[in-house]
A = this chain, B = another copy of it.
Amino acid sequence: MFYYLDIIGTAAFAASGALAAMRKRLDFFGIFIIACVTAVGGGTLRDILLKVDIAWMRDMNYMYASIVATIFTMMFYRTVKTNSRTLAILDSIGLGVFTIAGIEKGIAGDFVPAICIALGTMSACFGGVIRDMLSNEIPIIFHKEIYATACIIGGVVYFVLWHFDFTHQVYTFAAAMTVVSVRLLSLHFDWQLPNIYGNK
């Protein structure tokens, strides 16, 4: 089941990349490539840092999911845009699943918890960072929304519950749900990180 969620997350990330590219009025190929980079970029960075095989190069399902999501987004641009709530939910699921996937790959590579959480956060967020860099904007996660913070909190939940001897199923699920909830609640209530600049 986790695998299917991973694919769904990939598709949701591809759709968000396609939307960003269409807002910049890029051409067909530009939309397609930004969608794919957003979808698989985080996992690629994670796999490069871990020196393991790049996931999407061995398992075509990631590519298929990205391509289908991109074409779907292009065909139903208006529908997708007005259903931003649905997209946000799918996107959060992707965020949660990618965070856990990154953490577990880090554990498999024998890294300490802090590095695993960093890998999970990168897996989940880096795609969006490249998307914004390719569209020539300061990455949104750096200055507007609670995004990476959700991944880090989820990662901490993962290791705390693990430490207290919960089963794998429990702490995996709880951590993923934490990421999803923090992200969705922050969107709903328009939370922002505390302003550190004072009132100037």
Contact = CB atoms under 8 A, between A and B. Distances in A.
| Chain A interface bracket (under 10, 10 to 19, 20 to 34, 35 or more) | 35 or more
A25 B26 CA distance: 27
Given A33-B148, A111-B57, A136-B137, A28 B193 contact: yes
Interface string A26-53: 1111110110000000001000110101
Interface stretch (A94-102, A139-147, A154-162, A173-181): A139-147
A135 B139 CA distance: 8
B135 A133 contact: no
A138 interface: yes
A139 B29 CA distance: 12
Interface in A144-200: 144, 148-149, 192-197
Interface of A: 21-22, 24-31, 33-34, 44, 48-49, 51, 53-54, 57-58, 60, 63, 74, 111-112, 114-115, 129, 133-139, 141-144, 148-149, 192-197
Q: Which 10 A-B pairs have the closest CB atoms?
A: A30-B142, A27-B193, A26-B143, A26-B142, A28-B193, A136-B138, A30-B143, A57-B115, A29-B148, A27-B143
9 contacts: A26-B138, A27-B143, A29-B141, A29-B149, A33-B142, A48-B48, A57-B111, A135-B138, A136-B137
